């Protein structure tokens, strides 16, 4: 009888909780729209519109996702094998997704191949809610019993300062993780280590019905289930973890084994606040000036837009402009545009649309002149590996990775797209220390690896900018002998030359150590790869000696195997890319460091001759083994030609041109760089390709309100915009009668605020309002590195542009990478020269 009474009570609770979140007659119902997701007033529920990007594992952009009042606050609704899975934990593979618009049902089939187990997640509208059902043809495998459960991850920053209810219990979401943990026999992937005991979080709360943020309709979501739900805090195991709602799948059952009813709070009266997209940096007097107003599709208000000029007394004086014009629909928003290019008077300005007013921006002849300074003064010094870096009272990091590097193991596929082939292609055995690699180079991104492809791209980019624009700024002291950097302390040497030298030292070290360019140097395990803090603390700085015990130190060597790994499978594409970098470096090192310039040139020409005299090594994996072979060879030939003027390289450039023409968009900047050193027929042959590029450029300018290419992959597109704008600049310089300069300014405006979703500058510290929370190596502090460029706008398919300023761990939106920093230095200087009418 006790069991019967308990059962009745449980049924009553479930019925009451279901009734509590059922639709009331006055509430609007969700609809399955033509884009394949559920939509209601101020609410969207996506069901596998996006999928995990296997390139970099879980990016928090898949499964069941909830967008509420313009914020994607929940994601990764899927069957997972732990309560708080980490980025590299197992994920079911997408098998099939079916959308039935007539019945309002989305069914997605997924599979864990390692366990030969398949499941279906059925999402069906139920008034203002979505009913989620987990359907099994076969029971949960015994190995996954108690592990497989349905998870829904909640963005922590969306629920900071908010409460929750779990049945009759109440609680608040913690700003900092402090939930209870239990010791486990082994660590999971979220912890980063596989050896030794670990810990798993215990639930913060549990029940059959949760109400998230009951006090806030903008974040209120109700979730009820026929099985218990637990709430976890994933940040206890990893700083990039999320809050997680989770129900374990019952064992020994088939059919519909679990059902959740999820109801985000709708609001028929909500309208998204208009965004006035514009450049936070400002505009040159004679350059194009476009402001784009981004509107909720249901917003029919049309107040006037005003351009206001600020005077010294703080008055905002309206300035006459043309009328605002409709642009149309793009993604999920409606757009209006104001062209105020006719306004040329220098000064401080703001834009106003209804109740929205922008931060002040400049119109000035020198508006772009110092836009590259934060990248020069701070970002690149902070990124310097194998150096200690200090800024006044602050130590950014110590002399990191003095123990570089150990030979990577054979036939090993590693994290972050590194792989070692069946041989080392060196004289070193797997695990053996490779001396000489602990010099030069930059941290690739928000992580700390040295990716060679990035290194030579940056050397070429910085060398080109230094040479073309005569960059002699000196605000940083670089002492290679002491392995020390002081930010904001001049040392009498041009900063850009010293940065080029730093990259050159790493490229040369690879050839000196193993005879060819390597893929890179990367952490040996996930724990080191996810390190947050000073990079000097990742390793003990002492080369590993297998004879010694862990923790033992003798004669400058250590028994702790924490050294980074060098991936060394030979790739001709990497060799050619490094040749190009070394050859470009020579031109700016001459007269500054003649010995290093000579080493670079001798190495570049020697390796060129080796590669030209043998069949190419075609080893390729991910994005760490160089670009297309012909493109890398063409770049090497062009840079050697520019540096030496030797006919042999001109002949190779000419021979490669028919192949390069087929991928002209990708190679245009390099092709243009060769023009002054080639016969006139070379430039003439390029004209049809330039004309085709210009035709595509016009199509791009019409495709969206921002007149630049906007990508839709798992990594956002600031890099694509930088490349597009720099290509436009190169083609305008060489073919001004075919290609104009507007694309350069459109690219600058996009990077500094004229883009979808917000008006924030994607270059930290550049523009009045810029990225202040980003995925740098200081991301755990919810901070930024001045001068870093973030990827920017990520389009959550099918139509939601996103860039979070409140959560740094979205690497696809917020991670700095060094090639974009170098490209920004180029683009800012190009725009500065174009705005002054100089060549």
Structure tokens at 607: 């390796």
Residue 187's pLDDT is: 55
Residue 835's pLDDT is: 93
Query: What is the DSSP annotation of 434-489?
Result: -TT-SSS-B--BSS--EEHHHHHHHHHHHHHHHHHHT-----EEEETTTTEEEET-
Evaluate if residue 787 carries a pLDDT over 50: yes
Evaluate if residue 1 carries a pLDDT over 60: no
Query: Three-state SS for 269?
Result: coil
Largest Cα span, the chain: 98
In sequence order, the 6+-apart residues with CB closer than 8 A to the CB of 319 are 307, 308, 309, 340, 343, 349
For residues 435 and 425, give the distance between their C-alpha atoms in angstroms, rounded to a whole number: 16
Cα 347 to chain centroid distance, Å, stands at 35
Classify 541 in phi/psi space as left (phi over 0), alpha (psi -120 to 50) or beta.
left
Q: What share of the chain is helix, strand, coil (3-state, %, to 5)?
A: 30, 25, 45
Residue 192's pLDDT is: 46
How far lies 30's CA from each of 22, 339, 376, 447, 504, in Å? 12, 38, 51, 41, 58
For residues 498 and 475, give the distance between their C-alpha atoms in angstroms, rounded to a whole number: 11
In sequence order, the 6+-apart residues with CB closer than 8 A to the CB of 24 are none
Residue 552's pLDDT is: 96
Nearest to 307, CA basis, from 337, 278, 343, 350: 350
Residue 458's pLDDT is: 98
Q: What values do phi and psi take at 444, rounded to 5?
A: -60, -40
A 10 A CB-CB count for 237 gives 26
Evaluate if residue 191 carries a pLDDT over 80: no
- Quote the pTM value: 0.95
Evaluate if residue 8 carries a pLDDT over 70: no
Question: Which tens digits make up the pLDDT trace of 309-360?
Answer: 999 999 999 999 999 999 999 999 999 999 999 999 999 999 999 999 999 9
Residue 836's pLDDT is: 80
How far lies 286's CA from each of 127, 262, 363, 367, 834, in Å? 55, 53, 10, 12, 10
Pick 723 or 26 by higher pLDDT. Answer: 723
E-assigned strands of 742-833? Answer: 794-796, 800-802
Question: Which tens digits make up the pLDDT trace of 391-408?
Answer: 999 999 999 999 999 999
Structure tokens at 334: 């409606």
Question: In this prediction, what percent of the chain has a pLDDT beyond 70?
Answer: 95
For residues 252 and 733, give the distance between their C-alpha atoms in angstroms, rounded to a whole number: 70
Evaluate if residue 19 carries a pLDDT over 80: no
Residue 27's pLDDT is: 75
Residue 198's pLDDT is: 81
Residue 837's pLDDT is: 67
Average pLDDT over residues 826-836: 96
Question: Which tens digits make up the pLDDT trace of 811-825?
Answer: 999 999 999 999 999
**Hey, what domains does the chain have and what are their CATH numbers?**
2-181+197-264 (2.70.98), 275-363 (2.60.40.10)
Residue 18's pLDDT is: 41
Cα 1 to chain centroid distance, Å, stands at 59
Question: Which tens digits make up the pLDDT trace of 230-261?
Answer: 999 999 999 999 999 999 999 999 999 999 99
Evaluate if residue 747 carries a pLDDT over 70: yes
Q: 295 with 334: CB under 8 angstroms?
A: yes
Q: 486 with 507: CB under 8 angstroms?
A: no
Evaluate if residue 3 carries a pLDDT over 50: no
Q: 489 with 477: CB under 8 angstroms?
A: yes
Question: Which tens digits make up the pLDDT trace of 100-121?
Answer: 999 999 999 999 999 999 999 9
Structure tokens at 551: 């923790």
Question: Which tens digits make up the pLDDT trace of 503-545?
Answer: 999 999 999 999 999 999 999 999 899 999 999 999 999 999 9
Question: Which tens digits make up the pLDDT trace of 569-598?
Answer: 999 999 999 999 999 999 999 999 999 999
Residue 22's pLDDT is: 47
Bridge partners (DSSP) listed for residue 118: 111
For residues 629 and 659, give the distance between their C-alpha atoms in angstroms, rounded to a whole number: 11
Q: 3-state SS string over 1-67? A: CHHHHHHHHHHHHHHHHHHHHCCCCCCCCCEECCCCCEEECCEEEEECCCCCECCCECCCCCEEEEE
- Mean pLDDT (the chain) is 94
């Amino acid at each position: 009888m006790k069991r019967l009474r308990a059962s009745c009570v449980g049924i009553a609770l479930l019925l009451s909780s279901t009734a509590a979140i059922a639709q009331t007659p006055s509430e609007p119902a969700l609809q399955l729209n033509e884009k394949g997701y559920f939509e209601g007033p101020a609410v969207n529920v996506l069901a596998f519109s996006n999928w995990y990007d296997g390139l970099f594992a879980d990016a928090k952009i898949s499964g069941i996702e909830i967008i509420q009042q313009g914020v994607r606050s929940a994601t990764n609704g899927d069957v997972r094998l732990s309560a708080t899975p980490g980025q590299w934990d197992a994920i079911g593979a997408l098998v099939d997704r079916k959308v039935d618009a007539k019945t309002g049902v989305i069914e997605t089939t997924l599979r864990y191949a390692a366990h030969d187990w398949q499941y279906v997640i059925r999402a069906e509208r139920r008034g203002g809610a979505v009913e989620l059902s987990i359907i099994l043809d076969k029971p949960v495998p015994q190995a996954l019993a108690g592990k497989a459960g349905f998870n829904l991850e909640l963005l922590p920053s969306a629920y900071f300062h908010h409460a929750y209810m779990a049945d009759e219990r109440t609680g608040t979401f913690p700003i900092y993780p402090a939930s209870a943990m239990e010791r486990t026999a082994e660590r999971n992937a979220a912890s980063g280590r596989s050896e030794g005991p670990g810990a798993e979080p215990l639930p913060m709360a549990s029940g059959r019905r949760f109400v998230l943020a009951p006090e806030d309709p903008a974040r209120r979501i109700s979730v009820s289930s026929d099985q218990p739900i637990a709430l976890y805090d994933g940040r206890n195991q990893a700083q990039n973890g999320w809050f997680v709602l989770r129900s374990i799948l019952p064992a020994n059952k088939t059919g519909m084994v679990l059902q959740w009813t999820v109801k985000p709070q709708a609001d028929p009266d909500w309208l998204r606040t208009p965004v006035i997209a514009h450049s936070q940096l400002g505009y040159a007097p004679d350059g194009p000036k476009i402001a784009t107003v981004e509107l909720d599709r249901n917003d029919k208000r049309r107040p006037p837009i005003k351009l206001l000029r600020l005077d010294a007394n703080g008055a905002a004086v309206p300035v006459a402009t043309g009328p605002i014009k409709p642009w149309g629909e793009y993604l999920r928003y409606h757009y209006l545009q104001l062209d105020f290019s006719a306004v040329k008077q220098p000064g401080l300005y703001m834009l106003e649309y209804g109740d929205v007013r922008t931060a002040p921006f400049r119109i000035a002849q020198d508006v772009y002149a110092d836009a590259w300074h934060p990248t020069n003064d701070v970002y690149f010094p902070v990124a310097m590996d194998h150096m200690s870096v200090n800024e006044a009272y602050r130590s950014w990091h110590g002399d990191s990775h003095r123990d570089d590097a150990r030979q990577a193991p054979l036939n090993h596929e590693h994290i972050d797209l590194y792989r070692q082939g069946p041989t080392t292609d060196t004289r070193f055995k797997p695990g053996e220390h490779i001396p000489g690699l602990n010099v030069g180079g930059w941290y690739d991104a928000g992580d700390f690896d040295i990716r060679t492809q990035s290194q030579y791209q940056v050397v070429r980019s910085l060398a080109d900018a230094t040479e073309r624009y005569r960059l002699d700024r000196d605000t940083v002291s670089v002492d290679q002998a002491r392995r020390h950097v002081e930010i904001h302390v001049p040392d009498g040497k041009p900063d850009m030359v010293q940065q080029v030298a730093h990259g050159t030292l790493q490229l040369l070290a690879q050839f000196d150590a193993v005879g060819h360019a390597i893929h890179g140097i990367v952490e040996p395990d996930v724990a080191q790869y996810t390190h947050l803090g000073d990079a000097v603390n990742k390793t003990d700085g002492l080369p590993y000696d297998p004879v010694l015990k862990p923790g033992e130190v003798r004669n400058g060597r250590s028994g702790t195997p924490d050294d980074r790994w060098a991936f060394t499978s030979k790739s001709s594409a990497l060799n050619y890319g490094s040749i190009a970098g070394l050859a470009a470096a020579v031109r700016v090192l001459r007269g500054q460091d003649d010995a290093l310039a000579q080493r670079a040139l001798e190495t570049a020409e020697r390796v060129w001759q080796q590669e030209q005299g043998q069949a190419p090594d075609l080893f390729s994996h991910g994005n760490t083994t160089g670009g297309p072979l012909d493109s890398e060879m063409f770049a090497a030939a062009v840079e050697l030609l520019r540096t030496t003027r030797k006919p042999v390289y001109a002949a190779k450039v000419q021979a490669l041109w028919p192949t390069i023409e087929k991928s002209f968009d990708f190679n245009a900047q390099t092709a243009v760089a060769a023009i002054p050193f080639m016969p006139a027929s070379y430039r003439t042959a390029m004209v049809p390709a330039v004309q085709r590029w210009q035709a595509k450029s016009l199509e791009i300018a019409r495709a969206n309100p921002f007149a630049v290419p906007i990508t839709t992959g798992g990594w956002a597109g600031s890099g694509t915009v930088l490349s597009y704008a720099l290509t436009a600049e190169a083609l305008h310089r060489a073919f001004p009668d075919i290609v104009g300069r507007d694309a350069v300014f459109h690219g600058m405006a996009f990077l500094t605020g004229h883009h979808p979703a917000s008006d924030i500058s994607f270059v930290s510290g550049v523009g009045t309002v810029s990225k202040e929370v980003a995925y740098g190596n200081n991301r755990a502090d919810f901070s930024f590195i001045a001068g870093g460029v973030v990827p920017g706008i990520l389009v959550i398919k099918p139509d939601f542009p996103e860039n979070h300023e409140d959560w740094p761990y979205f690497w696809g939106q917020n991670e700095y990478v060094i090639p974009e920093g170098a490209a920004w230095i180029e683009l800012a200087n190009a725009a500065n020269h174009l705005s002054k009418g100089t060549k």
